[in-house]
Amino acid sequence: MSTRNEEPIRKSRIRKYKAPEVMEILALVHGPAEWEPRYNAAEELVYTILSQHTSDLNSERAYQTLMDTFGTLNAVAEASPEAIEDAIRHGGLAKQKSVRIKTVLNLVHEEVGSFDLSFLGEMPLDEAKTWLKKFPGIGPKTAAIILCFALGMPAMPVDTHIYRVSQRLRLIGPKVNADKAHDLLEPMVPPKDVFAFHVYLIRHGRQICKAQRPKCGECVLAERCPSQGKFDKPKRKTSTRKLKSRMPKN
């Protein structure tokens, strides 16, 4: 019988990781994440459009074929959608992407007078994002990729791997959509660490915290992960009929 002085026993809750802790632990696994520009900002814009809904290998092949075919972004902008489509066929969705690439390149050239977007690096981050997102087909993820990878700005691109890992670690809530996740994850670490934060989360998502079969047994974050064990396959229950069949007969 319980007394009034007895307090109900509460199950202790796991203390969730904060973003800097996640970075510190994953840095021990992956080592330093050094930023190096991949392409200039306008080239990165084209590459990012090509990378949508396809693999890195396919988008890289499509981009290289595009540039081998036309040589410059000016030539791409002047080409017909059909010619662009033929060059980027390796990347998938070539018909839609060809129109988008030509449209965006011409709109950028119309406004800037060239394809030199280095001025974005001198703008406040929010203003640079807003400038890019006014063009069709450029959302939060594409804008963040351009600013981060081409200009070294502290923008946080959130792909499917980062989104999944962030939700499982409860860095973001389960109802936060991918677009909102950019704004929430970005300020969780100092600006100088945003690129590394992106790199560590995406690597962890690809190698360990996979969509279908996460390797929780190999995860360095498992100890305090709120999602640990939730993906283990439940043991199949033995039916009563099978149990009876195993019982020795008298």
pLDDT in tens, 154-195: 999 999 999 999 999 999 999 999 889 999 999 999 999 999
Average pLDDT over residues 15-23: 94
Per-residue pLDDT tens digits for 81-126: 999 999 998 878 889 999 999 999 999 999 999 999 999 999 999 9
CA dist 144 and 163 (Å) reads 14
Which pair of tokens denotes residue 24? 């510190």
Q: What is the pLDDT of residue 5?
A: 52
Q: What is the pLDDT of residue 236?
A: 54
Fold for the domain defined by 14-32+154-227: Endonuclease Iii, domain 2 (1.10.1670)
Residue 247: pLDDT band (50, 70, 90) is: very low
Residue 8: pLDDT band (50, 70, 90) is: very low
Intervals of CATH 1.10.1670.10 along the chain: 14-32+154-227
Fold for the domain defined by 41-150: Endonuclease III; domain 1 (1.10.340)
Give me the residue label for tokens 């640079």. Answer: 128
* DSSP-H helix ranges across 56-209: 56-70, 73-78, 81-87, 94-112, 125-133, 140-145, 160-168, 178-185, 194-207
Give yes or no for residue 241 having a pLDDT over 60.
no
Give yes or no for residue 9 having a pLDDT over 70.
no
Torsion sign (Cα): 40, 46, 52, 56: negative
Per-residue pLDDT tens digits for 30-51: 999 999 988 999 999 999 999 9
141 noted as active-site residue: yes
Residue type (1 letter), 15: R
Q: Which among 16, 141, 175, 192 is annotated as catalytic?
A: 141
Q: Which of 150, 161, 142 is nearest to 116 (CA)?
A: 150
Give yes or no for residue 232 having a pLDDT over 70.
no
Average pLDDT over residues 119-138: 95
Intervals of CATH 1.10.340.30 along the chain: 41-150
